[in-house]
Amino acid sequence: MLSYRDVSKRYGDVIALKGVTLEFQPGKIHALLGPNGSGKSTLMKIALGLVKPDSGSVRVYDVDPVRDPIGARRLIGYVPEEVLIYESLTPSEWFSFVGSIYGMDRELLRERLDTLIRVFKMEEHMGKLGGELSLGNKRKVMLITALMKEPKVLILDEPFSGLDPEVARVLKEILRRKAEEGVVIFSTHILELAEAVADDITILRYGEVVARGPISELRGKKDLESYFMEVTGLSSELQELLKAL
Ligand SMILES: Nc1ncnc2c1ncn2[C@@H]1O[C@H](COP(=O)(O)OP(=O)(O)OP(=O)(O)O)[C@@H](O)[C@H]1O
């Protein structure tokens, strides 16, 4: 389980999170939605101890990421929004390196990697340097890195961006399977994707939770886009701006 209690975070004058209380349970796929700058990445980074909250408490199962960021990272597979890979290592070299850092058994590592590499269709790219890979393949390397240790918590920031439709389908299936055993959270700006993949959604606006629950219950009779526009207040803001234009 991943929980946040009354968590706030400011960057100088900018309020990124304001008294957020949330719980993400295993068994469901959770989508995190919100306009640009609403605090989604900050919320995710706090779970990993990459960003320290100003107040409130966070638990990754029973680990406090503020006191024990390494312990929290052991439990979490994380894919950030930005592409971060070693340009001068091949995916093969990179996975062996990460496997040794995780202290994974070589045979187990090989088995898991074999499957993930085939599932993500990366066989022919394993010998290329990271810097030579296409953007989508770099993102696949990051996804495999997050999945290879079979984490209890999977946190993916915009994981579907740059993936072709076939790989996106594979990823949806993986998330579904992972959610059976652990916590799965992903952020997205694509509402159709949240609707197609997630069980529960959480919508942030200006660092506050403005809606939360099963998609079907939240939107009621509306389509998710209209619901999103309504709770984030974007609809009226946009209409005003368009009028001004
Ligand atoms: N390192 C930082 N220094 C200063 N301000 C930051 C920093 N990181 C985030 N912010 C600010 O905090 C707010 C929340 O940012 P965050 O990246 O968490 O939002 P987000 O919902 O993930 O946005 P997006 O959808 O655009 O990725 C924004 O106003 C952002 O500019």
Mean pLDDT value of segment 98-125 = 91
What residues does each domain of the chain span? Answer: 2-244
Residue 202, beta-bridge partner list: 32, 212
Q: How far is the CA of 135 from the centre of ligand 1 (A)?
A: 23
Protein residue with least CA distance to atom 3, ligand 1: 11
| pLDDT score, position 208 | 96
Q: What value of ipTM does the predicted structure carry?
A: 0.98
Is 86:142 a contact under the CB 8 Å cutoff? no
- For the domain spanning 2-244, the CATH number is 3.40.50.300
Q: Give the residue, out of 15, 36, 42, with the most ligand 1 atoms within 8 A of its beta carbon, to mutate for a pocket test.
A: 42
Whether the per-residue pLDDT at 234 is higher than 90: the answer is: no
Q: How far is the CA of 97 from the centre of ligand 1 (A)?
A: 31
Percent of the chain with pLDDT over 90: 72
The predicted-structure confidence for 190-232, as pLDDT tens digits, reads as follows 888 898 899 999 999 999 999 999 887 877 767 788 888 888 8
| pLDDT score, position 233 | 78
Q: In 3D, which of 49, 101, 46 has the Cα closest to residue 71?
A: 49
| pLDDT score, position 39 | 96
